[in-house]
Amino acid sequence: MDEYTPNHHSNIKFNDYMVSTYVDCTSCRFSIGLWNVNSALINNMPRTNNHVEGYNSRLGSLFPVHPHIYRFIELLRDEHLFQHHHAEQSIAYPPRRYKLSEDINAQLIGLLNEHSNGELTALELALECGKTVKTKLVKK
């Protein structure tokens, strides 16, 4: 990381934060299994938690800020019925993933295979994964 980062105090501080928080296996705050999407990718599971954010947004729009207890229970019952119906419907008609998401997942799996075969270094893998999911360098 230091090799590709401009030598500036804030950049060094940021790199130290990233290493101590995510990378250093002996003392990191968050284990690699918590933030790494490798197993989710291989098991064809979502790489993001957008579905959770969508559900939280839905609940936030349904419930008023301080509902009366009986209104709260009524809303919970209605939400339960809706989610039960939604679950039954998804069994009969499984949701289709977007083609773009499937293409990106296939490209990422291909990159992981190339890395495990020794065709890509870890740095090349990181750069190629960034290009695949279209991350952009932000300049201020």
Q: What is the pLDDT of residue 5?
A: 75
Is there a contact between 106 and 44 (Cβ–Cβ < 8 Å)?
no
Q: Measured between alpha carbons, how far is 122 from 109 in angstroms, rounded to an integer? A: 14
- Minimum mean pLDDT among 3-7, 93-97, 114-118: which range? 93-97
Q: What is the pLDDT of residue 7?
A: 80
Residue, of 46 and 11, whose pLDDT is higher: 11
Please name the residue that has the structure tokens 């501080």.
Answer: 13
Domain boundaries, the chain: 1-36, 50-92, 97-140
Please check the confidence at residue 97 and state whether its pLDDT lies above 70: no
Please check the confidence at residue 129 and state whether its pLDDT lies above 80: yes
3-state SS record for the chain: CHHHCCCCHHHHHHHHHHHHHHHCCCCCCCCHHHHCCHHHHHCCCCCCCHHHHHHHHHHHHHCCCCCCHHHHHHHHHHHHHHHHHHHHHHHHCCCCCCHHHHHHHHHHHHHHHHHHCCCCCHHHHHHHHHHHCCCCCCCC
φ/ψ of 110, rounded to 5, equals -60, -40
Please check the confidence at residue 77 and state whether its pLDDT lies above 90: yes
Global pTM? 0.40
